[in-house]
Structures are given as structure tokens and as C-alpha cells.
Chains A and B, each alone.
Chain A
Amino acid sequence: SQTIHQWPATLVQPVGSPLSLECTVEGTSNPNLYWYRQAAGRGLQLLFYSVGIGQISSEVPQNLSASRPQDRQFILSSKKLLLSDSGFYLCAWNTVDSRYEQYFGPGTRLTVT
């Protein structure tokens, strides 16, 4: 069966520090991968998606970047965090065979202080 992992689960970082969040998927090949952010009291905002290694599409211009160094690994990064980067970050995946729904990881709670 397929599983999706995110780490760390929680993170507290000072403003101006770098960020690296990791997402890995097991049990499937060539998934589409997604990064979402959920700010307090708000819905989900799609940040990036990837259909293959090295292929990244950005949905919102911002202080963040994404990379996909391996087929089932998706990384969200920042060189310098802003207060507004605080939120709950969710990774998700799907494939053509999964009938277009997405499956979500457990999330990472990021607090920028």
C-alpha cells in the first residue's frame, strides 16, 4: 500500500533562517506531488506541484521554492523565512490511476518567530 511521510512534524524557526521540509511517498511510481500551505483560519493554498523529477510548477510567487531530486521525494525550501511563512504545510500525491483525488501527508507545523 502507498504511504506518504513528512518531516519534521513541527518546526520553530527564527525569521531569516533557512527552511527545508521533506516529503516522501512509498508504494507508487512516478506520482504527481504537491505542496500546500494552510494558514491559520484559512483554506489550502497550492504552492507547487511536480509531475516528474526536476519538473516543478509554481502556483504562487513567494519566498519559497521546491525541488524533486528523486521520483518519490519532494522538498520545500526557503533561504530566508518570513513571519508570513508560518502555517501548516501539507504534501500530497496522486497518479493518473488514482482518479484525480489527492492523498495527503500528516503535515508539518511551521512557526516562524
Chain B
Amino acid sequence: AQSVTQLGSHVSVSEGALVLLRCNYSSSVPPYLFWYVQYPNQGLQLLLKYTTGATLVKGINGFEAEFKKSETSFHLTKPSAHMSDAAEYFCAVSLFSGSARQLTFGSGTQLTVLP
């Protein structure tokens, strides 16, 4: 079984500070990993993904994440937080079940950006 753990349900940073959102996964096979962002009362938007190849992946809005197999981690970072980054962030791992690939999501991290 695959699972995702997001450490910290709430993270606060000052505008301009580093954003670090933590995600650890468990998987018996090489995982596909994703970060999604959700703004209030909206659907989820894909930020970035890791499937194969380069372990440092860049996404939209200046975010990036690094796949570290030895640490089973896929932490999300952004060098300088902006007020518009305030949202909920979900880490997810892809699982093949039957004829469809399913996503297993972490419980989410609410990011607050302080002025």
C-alpha cells in the first residue's frame, strides 16, 4: 500500500521568506509524485510532478521539489514567498489499481503568508 504524510497541517512564513512544505511517502515501487495547490473554494491545480529522470523538478509559480529516494521525501520549496502563495497544498503519490491510476493524497498543508 502507498501512503503520503505531510508534516505540519499549518505553516506560516513571512513574505519574502523561504517556503518549505514537507512530504514523505511510502511505496513498494518507484513512485510518481505530485504537488497540487488549492485556493479557497476551488479545485486542485497541479504545481509539479516527478515521474522519472531528474530528481529536482520545477513547477509553476516558482515552486520546485526534489525527489530523494533515500529519504522517501518530496519536499516542496520556493525561495521567496508571495502573498498570493497563501493556499492549501497537497502532496500525492500515484498508485496503479485495476485499469486506472489513482492518486493517494496527503492530508494537506495550509500555507499562510504574513506581510
Q: State the A residues within 8 Å of B (CB).
A: 32, 34, 42-44, 46, 49, 51, 57, 88, 90, 92, 94, 99-107, 109
Contacts and interface: CB of A to CB of B under 8 A. Distances in A.
Contacts of B103: 46, 101-102
25 contacts: A32-B101, A43-B90, A43-B106, A43-B107, A44-B44, A46-B103, A49-B102, A51-B99, A57-B98, A90-B43, A94-B101, A99-B32, A99-B49, A100-B32, A100-B94, A100-B101, A101-B46, A101-B49, A101-B94, A104-B36, A104-B44, A104-B45, A105-B43, A106-B42, A107-B43
Interface string B15-43: 00000000000000000101010000111
Contacts of A88: 41
A42 B42 contact: no
Nearest to B110: A41
B29 to A, nearest CB: 13
A32 B90 CA distance: 21
